[in-house]
Amino acid sequence: MSSLPNILSIAGSDPSGGAGIQADLKTFAALGCYGMAAITALTAQNTQGVTGVHIPPAEFVAQQIDAIFADISVSAVKIGMLGSPDVVEAVAQALKRHGAKNIVLDPVLVATSGDSLGAPGVVEAMQAHLLPLARVVTPNIPEAMRFTGLAEPHSVQDLAQLAGHFLELGAQAVLVKGGHMQGDKACDVLFEADQAEVFSQPRVETRNTHGTGCTLSSAIAAQLAKGLDLPKAVETAKAYLTQALRDSVRLDVGHGHGPVHHLWTLTEMKSGLRS
């Protein structure tokens, strides 16, 4: 029997459980992987907004990463919220020390509520230290605009243009998420080696969108850890997230943007065992 892939999430903590480390670990479990976590930030937040952020020393973030790699084989790494340029650089140096592979960088800068999660200088530090290490970068539209300085996209062609600029910034591949755009389909554009590929799923009308970016990037990391190539990993991860959005109707969490149902795969498994 083959062992489960081990995946390390390097991200912030969300006490409401919908985003950050908590969303990552649920996603890894739902997709048949063993999840681990190095916490880069403690946040005070719920489905309505962020009221506080505490950033631990960069040296301690690196110490957590070193402890994992010193003892455990890591098949993939997902990077989420990095609250300061010092933390960005410390994470990059630690990953280079250990030859980390299958790195998925989700450049979390703004929460679903609209609250800022990125301190000044974080974008520049990510560009200098992390973009070249990542197998794929997964910004949403506001994050992609902040990295590239381009105008807001209004079409799939505009998304492709945004994506192409990331390769000029040093990224190996980028998936620009089009969830902020209008339309009956949610379209994302993967740009790799000068080739653009569009992935679309029917748009799910729901308020439960808290942590969707964290969830998608974690699902991509899980599929890469299981040996899928990048386009197939994106396709499979996007299908997983779409169903998690649909099944969020089963949840009653908070009064704002609620979470998706990360563990819908386990619910389906139980139903199958009972039938």
What CATH number does the domain containing 163 carry? 3.40.1190.20
Is 214 tagged catalytic?
yes
Q: Is residue 1 part of a domain?
A: no
Mode of pairing for the β-strands spanning 103-105 and 49-54 = unpaired
Q: 98 burial class (0-12, 13-18, 19+ CB within 10 angstroms)?
A: middle
- Residue 48: partners with Cβ closer than 8 Å, 6 or more residues away: 113, 254, 255, 256, 257
The one catalytic residue among 78, 177, 226, 238? 177
Taking Cα atoms as reference points, which of 191, 163, 178 lies closest to residue 238? 178
Whether the Cβ atoms of residue 242 and residue 233 lie closer than 8 Å to each other: no
Domain ranges, residue 27:
6-274
Q: Is 2 exposed, middle or buried (0-12, 13-18, 19+ CB in 10 A)?
A: exposed
pTM summary value: 0.93
Q: Is 203 left (phi over 0), alpha (psi -120 to 50) or beta?
A: beta
From first to last of its 275 residues, the chain has per-residue pLDDT tens of 679 999 999 999 999 999 999 999 999 999 999 999 999 999 999 999 999 999 999 999 999 999 999 999 999 999 999 989 999 999 999 999 999 999 999 998 765 555 555 667 899 999 999 999 999 999 998 888 888 888 888 888 888 888 888 888 888 999 998 766 666 777 889 999 878 899 888 889 899 999 999 999 999 999 999 999 999 999 999 999 999 999 999 999 999 999 999 999 887 655 554 44
Q: Determine the distance from the C-alpha atom of residue 190 to the mean position of all C-alpha atoms in its chain, rounded to a whole number.
A: 14
Active-site entry in 212, 238, 242, 258: 212
3-state secondary structure (DSSP) of residue 270: helix
Q: Are the beta carbons of 225 and 34 closer than 8 angstroms?
A: no
Geometric angle at alpha carbon 180, from 178 and 181, rounded to 5°: 70
DSSP conformation letters of 165-225:
HHHHTT-SEEEEE-TTS-SSEEEEEEEETTEEEEEEEEPP--S--BTHHHHHHHHHHHHHH
β partners of residue 174: 137, 191
Would you say residue 52 lies in a domain? yes
Q: How many domains does the chain have?
A: 1
What pLDDT is stored for residue 64 in this prediction?
98
User: Reading across the β-sheet that carries 136-137, which strands appear in turn?
Assistant: 49-54, 34-46, 6-13, 76-79, 103-105, 136-137, 173-177, 185-192, 195-202
Is 127 among the domain residues? yes
Choose, from 213, 215, 238, 242, the residue flagged as catalytic.
Answer: 213
Q: Which of 27, 40, 47, 209 does the annotation list as catalytic?
A: 209
Residue 6 bridge partners (DSSP): 34
Of 20, 40, 47, 214, the active-site residue reads: 214
Q: Tokens in use for 188?
A: 């994302």
Among this protein's residues, is 209 annotated catalytic? yes
The label of the residue with tokens 């083959």 reads 2
How far CA 150 is from CA of 24, 154, 156, 236, 246, in Å, comes to 30, 12, 14, 29, 32
Residue 96 annotated to the active site: no
* Closest-CA residue to 62 (of 19, 109, 96, 14): 96
